[in-house]
Chain A
Amino acid sequence: MIRWTTRFALPLVASLCLATTAQAQQATERYIPLGQSPGLSSRYTYMGQIVRIDAAARTVTVGNADTTRTIALTEHTKIWLDRSATRQTTLIGRLEDLQPGQRIEIKYEDYATKDRAAWIKAAVVR
């Protein structure tokens, strides 16, 4: 019997499996209000208020009672304007839509480094 060899199996694993790392769906994530993402909010996301926005560097500095962090936006970072408090639909936003003092929630691209945002939910209360 021909056996699957390590020589072939490893590339198979690498090309078929490792390319598909753990990923939650972002489509429906958009409509989950800030702080309510199941399994993420309060555990793996960072919530606070925007302290500073550096449009040139494409970073936001966010603070809460515990710490202040500066996090970079990448070309893949999604920004959602959460208007559920005013019973309006969530909009897709841009960095220019964010404002100091605004309450936001950030999911990191990599929880270990905590330096880049996969998505940002920004509360819009008016």
Chain B
Amino acid sequence: MTSAVPLALHRFTLTRLTPIVFVLAACRPAPPPVPVPDPIAKGRAIFFNETFAGNGRTCATCHRAEDNFGLSPAFIATLPPTDPLFVAETNPDLAQNFENPRLMRALGMILENQDGFDDLANNFNMRGIPHLLALRTSVASAAGPRTGWSGDGAPGDGSLRAFATGAVIQHFTKTTNRIAGVDFRLPTNDELDALEAFQLSLGRQEDLTLPLPLKGVVPARGQELFRDNTVGKCNACHFNAGANADPAIFGAGAGNLNFNTGVEDLPDQPADLTGELMPPDDGFGTPGDGTFNTPPLVEAADTEPFFHNNSVMTIEGAVGFYDGNAFNESPAGRLIAAATGSGIELDATQIEAIAAFLRVINALENIREALALLATPNPARTAPSSANVALALEETDDAIRVLAGAGLHRDAVRELQTVERYLRQGPAGDPAPVQAAVQALERARADMIETP
């Protein structure tokens, strides 16, 4: 920032006042340092601990740090019956029309009344729980902020900051009366500021720049297909594998867009097969226009299930969706066909190659995050906190899972398994195993991508 104070005045101030300052400093004890407010730390404390005088849930009940700030059916299966996630099973006031415990436990679905609370028995949708990573890159659009699966998840001004208020009303209430001051308390402005700061701090802070110098031939081919507007056509809406649209197609600053990709028309969706009531989800707005928000793909491979209704369990299945009738006959699919001369047609090898690319960039992001966690020292020691080590272990485990799940980069997987052994062996605060883990993480990364 450029100072508006003339230079001559600066000189006067420095030459005339400096002795006075020194004299004053010598006469008075130094004042205690003014604590610097840390909204991220405050937001973290609220996110994990604050129940807002509701039913016992916190933000972290559904957005688990150990599960990429989302919640998968596999993770749900590890929770005790007393976990506040299952409040509909333990609180009689919430037994009806608040959750569907069967769909929650089997498919990780949560009940949303985004079209209104007038007919709780019939007017609802069952949706997955999205992760909160890379929000800094994925909320802004030319038409305003896009939050939640359909981009309209927040009350108030529709911003990420306001989202928590809606979440408290929908998910934290003690009864379905939803009376502020009785069933919950609303977040204060300071709390909303802090929660927004914390959420924006999670995960990637910027988009990738493709193409990456990948070493694996299949992931490298997948990247080509991903970016090829005659084959995969993925990069148009997931520019650089993020959540924003390609500015060359949609205009500079288009940002994060909504599309009707036909997910609702997929046949044999697992939730439908259960026989439970699954009203159609009309997406953005009330009544909805059928569109849903574009999620980032870097974080996709380890945050299954996929799509707003958790209808697909594997990243290969999610890529394959775009080869099917539901997509190619959807409004988005038809317009892509009109724009490029054909729909999206992928063979099995191409689907696996694109998925391999997504698996590798996810693993690279896991490694980046793990290295960042291990590089953040505990203020009292020279090593990272045990909480950071635990999260780095989760990231490493995710990287192993997404690579091994498709037989990719076996040498990297071995290095990552070494990382896990190092991080599990040392006492908390011992820097030696952490340093060894960091070196193994860097070797794993070097197995997947050319490094400078």
Contacts and interface: CB of A to CB of B under 8 A. Distances in A.
Nearest to A4: B249
Interface in B160-179: 161-162, 165-166, 169-170, 177-179
Contacts of B142: 17
Interface stretch (B97-105, B282-290, B305-313): B282-290
**For the side of the interface on B, what is the size category?**
35 or more
Interface in A70-86: 84
A32 B186 contact: yes
A29 B115 CA distance: 11
Interface in B122-175: 142-145, 151-159, 161-162, 165-166, 169-170
Contact of A5 (B152, B158, B331, B339): B339
B289 A17 contact: no
Contacts of A38: 155-157, 159, 161-162, 165, 187, 189, 192
A113 interface: no
Nearest to B233: A4
Given A15-B331, A16-B259, A27-B116, A22 B169 contact: no
Contacts of A39: 156-159, 161-162
Interface in A34-69: 36-41, 44
Interface string A87-99: 1111010000000
Interface string B401-420: 00000000000000000000
A126 interface: no
Contacts of B271: none
A18 B245 CA distance: 13
> Which label, helix, strand, loop or mixed, suits the secondary structure of the B interface?
loop
Nearest to B187: A38
A18 B229 CA distance: 23
Contact of A30 (B117, B229, B251): B117
Contacts of A19: 289, 291
A4 B285 contact: no
A89 B291 contact: no
Contacts, number: 164
A39 B162 CA distance: 7
Given A22-B143, A24-B155, A84 B161 contact: no
A38 B192 CA distance: 8
B249 A25 contact: no
Given A24-B156, A25-B155, A12 B143 contact: no
A57 B392 CA distance: 63
B348 to A, nearest CB: 23
B1 interface: no
A2 B182 CA distance: 60
B326 interface: no
B205 interface: no
Contacts of A24: 152, 154-158, 162
Interface of A: 1-5, 8-9, 11-13, 15-33, 36-41, 44, 84, 87-90, 92
Please provide the 3 A-B residue pairs with the shortest distance between their CB atoms, ordered closest to farther. A22-B144, A39-B157, A8-B339
